[in-house]
Amino acid sequence: MTSTTRSNAKMTATPATRVLGVLAIAATALMAVLGLFISPADVIQGEAVRMLYLHVPSIWIAYGAFVLTSVSSILFLRARKRREDQGRHYDRLAGSAAEVGVVFTGITLITGMLWGKVTWGTYWQWDARLTTTILLFVTYLGYLALRRLPADPMVRSQRAAVMALISFINVPIVHYSVDWWRTLHQKASLSVGRRPEITGEMYWTLLYSTLAVTIVATWLMIHRYRVIRLEELRDEEALAALISSRLKNDDGSN
Amino acid sequence: MSEVTTVVTGWGITFIIVATYSMWVVSRGKIIGQELGIGEMEQADPGKDADATTDL
């Protein structure tokens, strides 16, 4: 590893990310207070409505993360032959966003299943929304698996970028599945251009929860991005050491 | 399962997942940083505030 890359590696952590981490913890604590104690129970769903403040922000964050993955993948494919770093920055951004998106899709599925047991009487139903969501989870898990396959880093990144774009096709299908098909799942609680399904304290608690989860997800993405960068540096160092060792052996045998 | 049990379970599992994933990311960054000797460089030069670990 060159002194330049080490120098860059040392510049990855800033006091700003520490502030963001503390802010994420404080925001999450306030979210729990608002969601569990301040916000009222629903007339129909009772206490179970408190799952809303986890379930809905989680899938919104997952959508956002997958949008970021797709945009970064496009930028990577465009920049890979032109930029000095071969677009590695965009590839790392895509990988970190996808992983955070998968975590929040998983949370969406788990909270949805628990919520469904109380309101629908079953944990799972193969209806359009649930089926497309589990498909979304599995395809992005596949994307993450593809990123770990042993191959030339640039080739692997190109394949992953193409898969990210293919996987993204399912995101709008998941979102509009409740409008396009008859499903057990209710319509969107909040939607652009449509009157909100909830109002008052529930509405504001949901918006605040989305903000809090966004802060947490941002902190996670920044740190995951750094870890991917460190993994690349480690792999480059290992490769350099292997080549150096091979050259020494060749010199010794000649 | 009652409504309250469902809510407690859902929030509990969510916090466990996020906390576990956060700790995994931070610890992985620290381990790789140490493998690369970045953490050692940091100790040798404590005057600088930036490092490559993933602390808060």
The reply to whether residue A12 touches residue B56, judged by beta carbons under 8 angstroms, is: no
Q: What is the 3-state secondary structure (H, E, C) of chain A?
A: CCHHHHHHHHCCCCHHHHHHHHHHHHHHHHHHHHHHHHCCCECCCEHHHHHHHHHHHHHHHHHHHHHHHHHHHHHHHHHCCCCCCCCHHHHHHHHHHHHHHHHHHHHHHHHHHHHHHHHCCCCCCCCHHHHHHHHHHHHHHHHHHHHCCCCCHHHHHHHHHHHHHHHHCHHHHHHHHHHHCCCCCCCCCCECCECCCCCHHHHHHHHHHHHHHHHHHHHHHHHHHHHHHHHHHHHHHHHHHHHHHHHHHHHHHC
Q: What local confidence, expressed as pLDDT, does residue A13 receive?
A: 58
pLDDT band at A150 (very low <50, low <70, confident <90, very high): confident
State the CATH architecture for A19-36+48-185+201-244: Up-down Bundle (1.20)
The reply to whether residue B52 touches residue A12, judged by beta carbons under 8 angstroms, is: yes
Mean pLDDT, residues A177-206: 78
CA distance B40 to chain A (A): 11
Q: Which residues pair with A42 in a beta bridge?
A: A46
Q: What local confidence, expressed as pLDDT, does residue B38 receive?
A: 77
Q: Give the model confidence (pLDDT) of A19-61 as tens digits.
A: 999 999 999 999 999 999 999 988 888 899 999 999 999 999 9
Comparing CB atoms, the residue among B3, B10, B25 nearest residue A224 is B25
- ipTM field: 0.87
DSSP, res B9: H
Q: What local confidence, expressed as pLDDT, does residue B20 receive?
A: 97
Q: Give the model confidence (pLDDT) of B9-42 as tens digits.
A: 999 999 999 999 999 999 999 899 888 887 554 4
In this model, does residue A193 exceed pLDDT 90?
no
Reading the block at residue B53, the tokens are 């670990």
The reply to whether residue B50 touches residue A220, judged by beta carbons under 8 angstroms, is: no
